[in-house]
A and B are shown apart, each in its own frame.
Chain A
Amino acid sequence: MFEQYHTNSLLQKFFGLFIGIGFGFCLQKGGVTSYDIIIGQLLLTDFTVVKVMISAVVVGMIGIHLMKTLGWIEFHTFPGSIGSNVIGGLLFGIGFALLGYCPGTVAGAIGQGQMDALIGGAVGILIGTGIFAHFYPIINSKVLTIGTFPVETIPELIQIPRWIVVIIMILLMIAVLQYLPVFGL
Chain B
Amino acid sequence: MLELLLEPRWSPYLAGAGIGLLLWCSFLFSNKPLGCSTAFSRTSGMIESAFNPEKVKNLEYYTIFPPVIEWQWMMVVGIIIGSFLSSYISGTFQIIFIPHTFYTFFGDNLLFRFLTALIGGILMGLGARWAWGCTSGHGISGLAQLSLASMVSVIGFFIAGIVTAILLYSL
- Which of the residues B62, B83, B159 comes within 8 Å of A27, measured between beta carbons? B83
Interface residues on B, range: 35 or more
**In chain A, what residue has the closest Cβ to B68?**
A9
Instruction: State A42–B160 Cα separation when bound (angstroms).
Output: 9
B99: shortest Cβ distance to chain A, in Å?
3
Interface residues on A, range: 35 or more
A88 x B127 contact (CB < 8 A): yes
B117 x A165 contact (CB < 8 A): no
B52: shortest Cβ distance to chain A, in Å?
11
- For chain A residues 160-185, which have a beta carbon within 8 Å of chain B? 162, 165-166, 169, 177
For chain A, what secondary structure do more than half of its interface residues adopt (helix, strand, loop), or is it mixed? Answer: helix
Q: A64-B145, A88-B156, A124-B120 provided; 6 other pairs, C-beta below 8 A?
A: A22-B18, A24-B84, A25-B83, A55-B20, A102-B134, A128-B126
Instruction: State A14–B30 Cα separation when bound (angstroms).
Output: 10
B10 x A107 contact (CB < 8 A): no
Q: Residues of A with Cβ closer than 8 Å to B?
A: 1-3, 5-6, 9, 12-36, 39-40, 42-44, 48, 51-64, 67, 72-82, 84-100, 102-117, 119-134, 136-137, 139, 143-144, 149, 151-157, 162, 165-166, 169, 177
Question: Which of A15, A62, A89, A104 is packed against the most chain B CB atoms within 10 Å?
Answer: A89
B74 x A107 contact (CB < 8 A): no
Also in contact, A103 and B136, with CB within 8 A (given A55-B16, A63-B20, A128-B126): yes
Instruction: State A17–B73 Cα separation when bound (angstroms).
Output: 8
B157 x A96 contact (CB < 8 A): yes
A156 contacts across to B, CB distance below 8 A:
148
Instruction: State A26–B17 Cα separation when bound (angstroms).
Output: 9
B159 contacts across to A, CB distance below 8 A:
90, 93
B30 x A88 contact (CB < 8 A): no
- Which of the residues B10, B32, B122, B161 comes within 8 Å of A96, measured between beta carbons? B161
